[in-house]
Amino acid sequence: MNKTFLAMASATVLLSGCSNPFLKDWNTPYGTAPFSKIELSDYLPAFKEGIKQQKAEIQAIIDNQEEPSFENVVAAYELSGRLLAKVSGVFFNLSESDSTPEMQKLEEEVLPLLTAAEDEIFMNKDLFRKVKAVYDNMDGLDREQQMATEKFYERFERGGVGLEGEAEARFKEINTRLSALSQQFGTNLLAENNAFKEKTGITVSEYPSFMSSCDDREARQKAFEAYSTRGNHGDSHDNCAIVLEILRLKAEQAALLGFKSSADFLLDNKMAGSPETVDAFLAPIMEASMRKAKEDLADMEKIAGFKIEPWDWFYYAEKLRLQRHNLDENLTKPYFCADSVRKGVFYAAEKLYGVKVTPAPEVEVYNPDVKAYRLNDADGSLIGIFYWDWFSRSTKRGGAWMNNFRDQYLDADGKDVRPVIVNVCNFPPPTEETPSMLTVDEVQTAFHEFGHALHGFLSRCRYPSVSGTSVKRDFVEMFSQFNENWAFQKEILSEYARDYRTGEVIPEELAGKIVSALKFNQGFMTGELCAASILDMKWHELTLEQLSAFDGAESIRAFEDKVCKEMGLIDEIIPRYRTTYFNHIFNSGYSAGYYSYLWAEVLDVDAFEKFKEDGLFNPATASLFCRTFLERGGSEEPMTLYREFRGADPDPSALLKARGLE
């Protein structure tokens, strides 16, 4: 037993008399959070105690008189901060999915504490000297240990450990300010999304469905205008000043570390490596999308008999879909009610990886909408605990995501700690009369998020910093997008896609139409995704000096217009996210990283080719996929894993082909 663990254990004993549930062992099923026992007032003392404990653990690493080794530096750090991970796991999941004004206020208080604590670790020169000693001498380590060491070392370098004096103080100050600004951006956006609903009567996640089906052109225009101006109304929820300050501060930090722009800094440790590589990757995708979009536009204008505006696209695309593929979403929805889709998602995982999913009513949930499940291996051993939180509510931010309450790792005794994972979506809640029914797009989202969950669940790593989804940002979407492939496979559909009224399995003809229509409207779909990726890059490629010329809403809009024109985006399409509601890049860690979806798609499309070659449900191929990728998280470089799986590099042209854009 090492010193770090002893320090942690004694701290827990001292506090066991207290009533704060975070400071006690959770004697709950599978050690899951006892949500009903947690009071709002428990978080702050638990965060403070967690920070204090980790500080002591870090000090013990520094004070250790033995030669620095992987075990007494990196592994000791990996095991530190467990209380902090426990309280953060609960707090940050709930602050996104079940937030209240009280929680948002608390977040404002907690974030500066966490930022300062993190800076204290990653700007600590004594600790860095020890880490560097391990990093400079990695020969005897295995690959996972090397990857964990590199990642740890990099966090110091990128966290400003090399800075001195004024620069060091400024760097810290920026970190604190950035965490407050990101949080403010998210809080404003949640308020703007709720205001959007007030104005239009629909939620943000219902927007595409509404725009596809609403016959009233004026109502569509009104919805489009409300949707595309979120965060840009010059009121107390306006995000203009916030995004400009975030961009400037990020550029300043990059400059302090010797990078030209924040894009240069952010891409330096990604697969892509540089902004130039990303720009060169995106340009031909944009070009191919616009070629296709213009063809579709001409056909849509033939149907409409007038010039299409951005608020007409969804509507006439639906008409064109009907004309070309004879597919009407109103006919498919009854086959995709939420309970059925959930069965399909679980069934695919069982068929491929032998994962058995069963309800776990003994596990407490944080909201009555949420359901808990247990995942077991074919041999019965526990894989992890899963929370299913699918329906929209006013306390949840928009979009869909996967998150961990607890990571997979080996504890100090070598015991395999299994993960606790949540999938959060904004699907329509059931009504008194009808169950929740999903669109084709939403079915794909359900498979997508569970793909992330499987990446977290099937992890068999030792160190939490490289387990599960802790991989490079432009690699992580490979596994979610890969999982989307199974949504509409015949063998899976016949298991889950049943009309909720009659129990009838989806007719083959209708299923066939869904599959053939998947490539429909890809000029628009790929175009708006690629446009948002380019807009993200262009903002982050600006230098501090260039950014200083920006001033308020007008300048933001003018920049967006210029960038859209230069990339060749046609006027009838806008980027999937405009600056003032681009949560991914201003509040979610995808800064200069929104391209990751397309980047990873090159890999997932090519990986799926292997399944097509070997047989879709070939157990050996699925097992190889699981062992090579899912079990290994970030314990090896992405391309090394990829070549191990495929025996070659991916074919970049497969992406355009898969989207029907070649």
Q: 498: helix, coil or strand?
A: strand
Question: CA triplet 386, 392, 398: central angle to 5 degrees?
Answer: 95
Instruction: Report how far residue 242's alpha carbon sits from residue 191's, in angstroms, rounded to the nearest whole number.
Output: 15
Q: Min. distance of Cβ 443 from Zn ion in angstroms? A: 15
Among 436, 480, 483, 587, the residue binding Zn ion under the rule CB under 5 A is 480
Q: Min. distance of Cβ 135 from Zn ion in angstroms? A: 31
Q: Which stretch binds Zn ion (CB under 5 A): 418-426, 472-480, 500-508, 524-532?
A: 472-480
Tell me the residue number closest to Zn ion, measured at CB.
480
Q: Which stretch binds Zn ion (CB under 5 A): 97-105, 249-257, 471-479, 524-532?
A: 471-479
Ordered DSSP codes for 583-647 = HHHHHSS-TTTTTHHHHHHHHHHHHHHHHHHH-TT-HHHHHHHIIIIITTTTSS-HHHHHHHHHS
For Zn ion, give the closer residue by CB, 114 or 458: 458
Q: Which stretch binds Zn ion (CB under 5 A): 36-44, 89-97, 285-293, 480-488?
A: 480-488
**Nearest Cα to Cα of residue 394 among 369, 373, 422:** 369
Instruction: Report how far residue 266's alpha carbon sits from residue 552's, in angstroms, rounded to the nearest whole number.
Output: 25
For Zn ion, give the closer residue by CB, 171 or 475: 475
Q: Min. distance of Cβ 311 from Zn ion in angstroms? A: 28
For Zn ion, give the closer residue by CB, 87 or 402: 402
Instruction: Report how far residue 440's alpha carbon sits from residue 424's, in angstroms, rounded to the nearest whole number.
Output: 18
Both tokens of 492, joined, read 């899976």
231 with 580: CB under 8 angstroms? yes
Q: Min. distance of Cβ 477 from Zn ion in angstroms? A: 5
| Inter-axis angle of helices 473-484 and 440-457, nearest 10 | 120
H/E element, 223? helix 217-228
Q: Min. distance of Cβ 455 from Zn ion in angstroms? A: 10
Output the furthest CA–CA distance in the chain (Å, rounded). 80
Q: Which stretch binds Zn ion (CB under 5 A): 364-372, 467-475, 476-484, 600-608?
A: 476-484
For Zn ion, give the closer residue by CB, 279 or 474: 474
- The bridge status of strand 356-359 relative to strand 401-406 is unpaired
621 with 611: CB under 8 angstroms? yes
Among residues 49, 57, 192, 449, which one is catalytic?
A: 449
For Zn ion, give the closer residue by CB, 315 or 586: 586
Instruction: Report how far residue 543's alpha carbon sits from residue 520's, in angstroms, rounded to the nearest whole number.
Output: 39
Ordered DSSP codes for 112-181 = HHHHHHHHHHHT-HHHHHHHHHHHTT-TTS-HHHHHHHHHHHHHHHHTTTT--HHHHHHHHHHHHHHHHH
Q: Min. distance of Cβ 459 from Zn ion in angstroms? A: 17
Residues numbered 16-75 forming contacts with Zn ion, rule: CB under 5 A: none
CB atoms within 10 A of CB 631: 17
What are residue 372's DSSP bridge partners? 387
Query: How close are the terminal C-alpha atoms of the chain, in Å?
Result: 58
For Zn ion, give the closer residue by CB, 68 or 638: 638
For Zn ion, give the closer residue by CB, 184 or 470: 470
362 assigned to active site:
no
For Zn ion, give the closer residue by CB, 144 or 484: 484
Q: Min. distance of Cβ 471 from Zn ion in angstroms? A: 12
Q: Min. distance of Cβ 345 from Zn ion in angstroms? A: 14
Residue 444 binding Zn ion, by CB under 5 A: no
For Zn ion, give the closer residue by CB, 296 or 477: 477
Q: Which stretch binds Zn ion (CB under 5 A): 272-280, 357-365, 405-413, 478-486?
A: 478-486
Instruction: Report how far residue 212's alpha carbon sits from residue 206's, in angstroms, rounded to the nearest whole number.
Output: 10
| Inter-axis angle of helices 275-304 and 522-541, nearest 10 | 140
For Zn ion, give the closer residue by CB, 279 or 477: 477
Q: Which stretch binds Zn ion (CB under 5 A): 296-304, 475-483, 579-587, 619-627?
A: 475-483
Looking up tokens 């991970």 gives 85
Number of chain residues interacting with Zn ion (CB under 5 A): 2
Residue 280 DSSP symbol: H
**Nearest Cα to Cα of residue 445 among 597, 654, 611, 633:** 597
Q: Min. distance of Cβ 480 from Zn ion in angstroms? A: 4
Q: Which stretch binds Zn ion (CB under 5 A): 173-181, 412-420, 454-462, 474-482?
A: 474-482
Q: Min. distance of Cβ 452 from Zn ion in angstroms? A: 6
Q: Give the footprint of Zn ion on this chain (CB under 5 A).
A: 477, 480
The catalytic site residues sit at: 449
